[in-house]
Amino acid sequence: MAASNEWGRVDDDGAVWVRAAGADRSIGSWQAGTPEEGLAHFVRRFDDLATEVSLLESRLNAPTSDATAMAASAESLKASLPEAHVIGDLAALDKRLDAVIAKTATKKEEAQAAKSRVRAEAIAAKEALVTEAEKLASSTQWKAAGDRLRSIVDDWKAIKGIDRKTDDALWKRFKEARDSFSKARGAHFAALDKQREGAKVIKERIVADAQALSSSTDWGPTASRMKSLMSEWKAAGRATRDSEDRLWNEFRAAQDTFFAARSAVLDERDASYVDNQKAKESLLAELGPKITPETDLSAAKATLRQLQERWEDIGHVPREAMRPLEDRLRALERSVRDVEDAEWKRTAAQSNPLLLSMREGVDKAQKQLDKANASGNAKKIADAQANLAAKQEWLAEAEKSVTS
């Protein structure tokens, strides 16, 4: 007995039919069992085909799906439907495949747009790296710029999605910038090496001079020359790396030898000057309080001359005591000189002919004012007051100019 459903049937003789496009199409023969079993077999085959379509629909929604490959699969399935040996709703399956094919077309457009966007972003990123490298090409921050140029290469490798032609053009610009920096850096360090070789020659001469002076006992001139050699050392700049520390140690050793010997001699000499220090301190204590130019300038000057003569006779004192003692002596000399200067100015003002004449004029104007006051004449009094004020002002200015 035949078996059928709305999409097809299996006849009693085993002929199998599917209903598609409003007509029945023969899809084979079933001889392996009953018609019901045959119908079930071809329905399962349809279900398998439908499952493939469902898988395509599911994969279409995955973000990493390959739209081109899915379109090919959908088109292949669609092309197989007119000859498919299955029983089921082939028209519905065909529509579903059309929908898949349409969506894959949209997805391919989106993928292409995304690819173009990624390419544009990648190009922009590499152009930014190139621009940065071109700026670094003129930098003199050799280590920092060199390190950054090396790291740019790593950044470059991490950027994908650029066509070969564009990438090659950008890489060429980057390489030119890097080569320009490398060339400038090489020239800089070559010049620096040359400069350091020159500094080495200068410092070798300085070391030789210092070593020759290290045994000198001409303490003052030699100490001065040692200090000037230090200035020359600093002005010479750094020598080559392998010689700078060695030369410095040799130079310092020569200086230390000289200054240690000088210090030993001066320390011994200073010890012998302690008595002179005490003598000068006693001299200041003895005569210093007697030098009071404000009360008696002549006596103060005589006492100061006595102190100065005895001071020179005493001789040298230790180095650390020299400045304090000299400062105390200078203070006494200055006190006498200040009073002496003030006295000279006062005497000069008193004996100046111009000032004497102007003082007489002030006295005369005062007498005229007294006479005017006695007369009671207001106009004469006012004129006499103005005349006296003017002569007093002129005298004050003249005295100021003479004593300043």
Closest by alpha carbon to 93, among 104, 105, 77? 77
Closest by alpha carbon to 181, among 134, 223, 224, 242? 134
pLDDT at 135 over 90: yes
Between 283 and 272, whose confidence is greater? Answer: 283
CB neighbours of 39 closer than 8 A, spacing ≥ 6?
A: 3, 4, 5, 8, 9, 10, 87
Banded pLDDT at 143 (limits 50, 70, 90): very high
Q: How far is CA 236 from CA 195, 200, 240, 381, in A?
A: 9, 8, 12, 84
Helices (H), 273-318: 274-287, 297-314
DSSP 25: E
C-alpha 80/C-alpha 84 separation (Å) is 6
Closest by alpha carbon to 170, among 136, 210, 130? 130
Percent of the chain with pLDDT over 70: 96
C-alpha 72/C-alpha 66 separation (Å) is 10
| Phi (first) and psi of residue 39, to 5 degrees | -60, -45
When pLDDT is averaged across residues 124-131 and rounded to a whole number, the result is 92
pLDDT tens, position by position, 49-80:
999 999 998 888 777 778 888 889 989 999 99
DSSP track, 263-276:
HHHHHHHHHHTHHH
Strand partners, 216: none
C-alpha 314/C-alpha 51 separation (Å) is 125
pLDDT at 27 over 70: yes
pLDDT tens, position by position, 296-312:
888 888 998 998 889 88
Surface-to-core class of residue 292, CB atoms within 10 Å of its CB (0-12 exposed, 13-18 middle, 19+ buried): middle
Which amino acid, residue 110?
Answer: E
C-beta separation of 14 from 49 below 8 A: no
Mean residue pLDDT across the chain: 87
What is the SS3 assignment for 8?
strand
Closest by alpha carbon to 38, among 64, 19, 13? 13
C-alpha 63/C-alpha 53 separation (Å) is 18
Strand partners, 266: none
Place of tokens 């006012």: 382
Between 404 and 4, whose confidence is greater? Answer: 4
Helices (H), 61-141: 67-80, 90-136
Highest mean pLDDT range out of 37-41, 188-192, 210-214? 37-41
CB neighbours of 391 closer than 8 A, spacing ≥ 6?
A: 358, 361, 362, 365
* Candidate from 29-33, 164-168, 394-398 with smallest mean pLDDT: 394-398
pLDDT at 11 over 90: yes
When pLDDT is averaged across residues 339-365 and rounded to a whole number, the result is 75
DSSP 289: G
Closest by alpha carbon to 193, among 144, 240, 254? 240
pLDDT at 280 over 90: no
pLDDT at 270 over 80: no
pLDDT tens, position by position, 84-116:
999 999 999 999 999 999 998 888 887 788 788
C-alpha 213/C-alpha 240 separation (Å) is 25
CB neighbours of 104 closer than 8 A, spacing ≥ 6?
A: 60, 67, 68, 70, 71, 74
Q: Where are the domains of the chain?
A: 3-114, 120-191, 199-265, 274-351, 353-403
pLDDT at 131 over 90: yes
When pLDDT is averaged across residues 365-378 and rounded to a whole number, the result is 80
C-alpha 35/C-alpha 16 separation (Å) is 9
| Phi (first) and psi of residue 65, to 5 degrees | -70, 150
Percent of the chain with pLDDT over 90: 36
Q: Is the C-alpha dihedral spanning 187, 190, 191, 192 positive or negative?
A: positive
pLDDT (0 to 100) of residue 60: 83
When pLDDT is averaged across residues 212-219 and rounded to a whole number, the result is 87
What is the SS3 assignment for 237?
coil
C-alpha 300/C-alpha 333 separation (Å) is 10
Banded pLDDT at 399 (limits 50, 70, 90): low
pLDDT at 40 over 90: yes
pLDDT (0 to 100) of residue 48: 95
Which amino acid, residue 187?
Answer: A
C-beta separation of 213 from 258 below 8 A: yes
Banded pLDDT at 16 (limits 50, 70, 90): very high
CB neighbours of 81 closer than 8 A, spacing ≥ 6?
A: 90, 93, 94, 97
